[in-house]
Amino acid sequence: MTADHRPAPAIGQTVRDTHHNRLGIVTDHLGPYLRLRPLTGGREWDADPEDTEPLSPPEALRARVAEVNARSRKPRPSG
């Protein structure tokens, strides 16, 4: 449990890491920390559960749609 008595987020849950100001998906619980992966994939990072807030389903959906839209705007390599 975290300081405000919330259970730690479950694996697969989308959270906001308030310390790093990033969104991530919980991939593991390592000792006292959470392992988070960026929504678009990439390098994972550790976060203190006390510095995370779960996103509601609508917030998580908006964040994922925004990531997909941002990727679609990037130029594609020709070839």
Residues 33 and 46 sit within 8 Å (Cβ to Cβ): yes
d(CA 46, CA 66): 23
In a domain, 78, yes or no: no
In a domain, 31, yes or no: yes
The parent domain of residue 19 ranges over 14-73
Q: What is the pLDDT along the chain (79 residues), one digit of tens a residue?
A: 445 567 889 999 999 999 999 999 999 999 999 999 998 889 999 999 999 999 999 999 999 898 888 888 878 777 6
pLDDT at 57: 92
| CB atoms near residue 18 (< 10 Å) | 13
- Domain count for the chain, please give it: 1
pTM for this prediction: 0.78
| CB atoms near residue 61 (< 10 Å) | 12
pLDDT at 6: 74
pLDDT at 7: 83
